[in-house]
Amino acid sequence: MSIWRYEKLLDSPAHRVTLGEGQTPVVPSQRLGPALGLPQLSLKLETSNPTGSYKDRFAAAAISHMRSRGQTKCLATSSGNTGSALAAYCAGANLPCTIAIVEPAPLGKLTQMLAYGATLLRVRGFGIDPAITAQVLDRLTAAAQRPDIALQISAYCYSPLGMAGVQTIAYELAEQLESIDHVFVSAGGGGLTLAIARGFYDLVRTGHLRRSPKIHCVQPEGNATIARALRTGRERAERVDCTTTISGLQVPIVLDGDDVIAACRASGGTGYLVSDAAVFALQKRLAREEGIFTEPAGAVALAGAAQAIASGEIGSGERVVCIVTGSGFKDSAAAEAMIADTSCPLVSADELFERV
């Protein structure tokens, strides 16, 4: 199974690349949802994709379209998950892949990209300073004017054909759950949120669904490019000086932000801003109360849902889905912080029997 089972809803290319992405499970929360006041909480586990994140859906579509167009070199930007996915799918398609990396990218994600054979260039200030971030994107766009190069950035404003692959999350959710009231989605540049909103819009437009769930955009407080505007009634996203430590969501420029605001509002959704501390706490609880090991970014949507129920903005009887975006193995520093209160002592065989 792969995203190409939805070829009638996608702009299907002649050459398809797949590593078995998609068809990720939706699991009902057993403990954490009820404890938060969300007894009908479900979690969409994008951690089970081939490279451990939802970005494999993007890479499968993006690299397939590259091959169909005869493009032979992939140029990309990433904070980690996009790069890992593109590096893997380029390896599978026998294409070279060069990636400009944000400065604070975690070592685990760099290791994964390098393992697939990608060429990495980490740029000072990229992903932190909005001016430097914009400058990097401008230069890469100029470099990608050659017909043999494709610039792959996981945003509709750069790679709409690749992002169409991410819309398959919505298609799957509509099949997996009988009814959904709310979908909470984490956002850096907003591409994932927009993809899910557009996916549900397509299903309504084509008569597959009667209505779309409300799509909510959740961001760390230190990267409030979209969610703040959603909550305050503005129509435009804004640049910020990024201060969040949540890897993967450090995108201080607008990218798909304006379209995200319009799409969320059209669905009846809004924005939520959450603290890094709340995200790290829920990352730990997901592991210990649900058995779900996610990177911090994968707990951001849940932090938004927790805030919504605590503030009375959604009801306890409503059916809620949170997107768990990436594996905990991708951010080793965050994982080590999560287990700082535990240890693994070396003991003798005799001591073992005394302890168990």
Residue 204 has pLDDT above 80, yes or no: yes
Domain 3-53+165-338 has CATH 3.40.50.620: no
Where residue 167 falls (left for φ over 0; alpha for ψ -120 to 50; beta otherwise) is alpha
**Does residue 201 have a pLDDT over 90?**
yes
Provide the pLDDT confidence category of residue 85 given band limits of 50, 70 and 90.
very high
User: CB neighbours (10 Å) of residue 144?
Assistant: 20
Whole-model pTM above 0.75?
yes
Task: Give the mean pLDDT of 147-153.
Answer: 95
Gap between the Cα atoms of 108 and 330, Å rounded: 5
Between β-strands 149-152 and 73-78, what pairing exists: parallel, antiparallel or unpaired?
A: parallel
Secondary structure, 3-state, 320-350: EEEEECEEHHHCHHHHHHHCCCCCCCCCCHH
Confidence class for position 128, pLDDT limits 50, 70, 90: confident
Task: Identify the band that residue 44 occupies on the pLDDT scale cut at 50, 70 and 90.
Answer: very high
The structure tokens listed for 317 are 């009887």
Same fold, 3-53+165-338 and 55-162: yes
Whole-number pLDDT of residue 3: 96
Cα separation of 305 and 278, whole Å? 12
- Determine the straight-line distance between the first and last CA of the chain, rounded to whole angstroms: 44
More reliable by pLDDT, 14 or 88: 88
By DSSP bridging, strand 149-152 and strand 182-186 are: unpaired
**Residue 29's pLDDT is what?**
98
Round to whole Å and give the CA distance between 95 and 115: 15
pLDDT bin (cut points 50, 70, 90) of residue 11 is confident
Residue 77: is its pLDDT beyond 80?
Answer: yes
- Ordered by start, the domain boundaries in the chain are 3-53+165-338, 55-162
Domain 55-162 has CATH 3.30.420.10: no
321 close to 184: Cβ distance less than 8 angstroms: yes
Q: Is the pLDDT of residue 1 over 90?
A: no
Q: For position 104, what pLDDT does the model report?
A: 85
Q: Once rounded to an integer, what is the mean pLDDT over residues 173-187?
A: 97
Per-residue pLDDT, averaged over 182-193, amounts to 97
